[in-house]
Structure 1
Amino acid sequence: MNRVLLNTICISCLILGACKKKQPPVNTEVPVNLIKVKAQSVLYFDKYPSTTAALSQVSLLPQVQGAITGIFFTEGSHVTKGQKLYEIDTRIYQNNYDAAVANLRVAQSTLKQSQQDADRYEYLNKYNAVAKQLYDHAMITLESSKSQVKAADEAVKTAKTNLNYAVVTAPFSGTIGFSQVKLGNVVTVGSTVLNTISTDSPMAVDFVINEKQLPKFEKLQMEKKAPVDSLFTILLPDGSLYPEQGKISIIDRAVDSQTGSIRVRLVFPNAQNLLRVGMSCVVRVHNQDTKPQLVLPNKAVVEQMGEYFVYIAKDSTITNPKAPADSAKTKKALVAAQKKVQIGQTIGPNVVIKSGINEGDRVVTDGVQSLHDGSQITTANKVGPSTGKGGKG
Structure 2
Amino acid sequence: MGKEPKIYDTAAKQETAILVSVIPQGVSDETAKEYLGELDFLVQTAGGIVKGVFTQKLTKPDRATFVGSGKLDEIKAFIKAEEIDIVVFDDELSPSQLRNIEKEFEIKVLDRSNLILDIFANHAKTAQAKTQVELAQLQYLLPRLTRMWTHLERQRGGIGMRGPGESQIESDRRMILNKISLFKERLQHIDKQNETQRKNRGELVRVALVGYTNVGKSTIMNLLSKSDVLIENKLFATLDTTVRKVVIENLPFLLSDTVGFIRKLPHHLVECFKSTLDEVREADILIHVVDISHHSFEDHIHAVNETLKDLKALDKPILTVFNKIDAYKPAVEQDEDGEEIKVTLEDFKNSWMGRHAAPAIFVSATDKVNVEEFRAKLYEMVSELHTARYPHNNLLY
> TM (normalized to structure 2)?
0.19
Instruction: Give the number of the structure whose residues are more often helix, by fraction.
Output: 2
Using the size of structure 1 for normalisation, the TM-score is: 0.19
Say which structure, 1 or 2, has more relative contact order (CA 8 Å, 6+ apart). 1
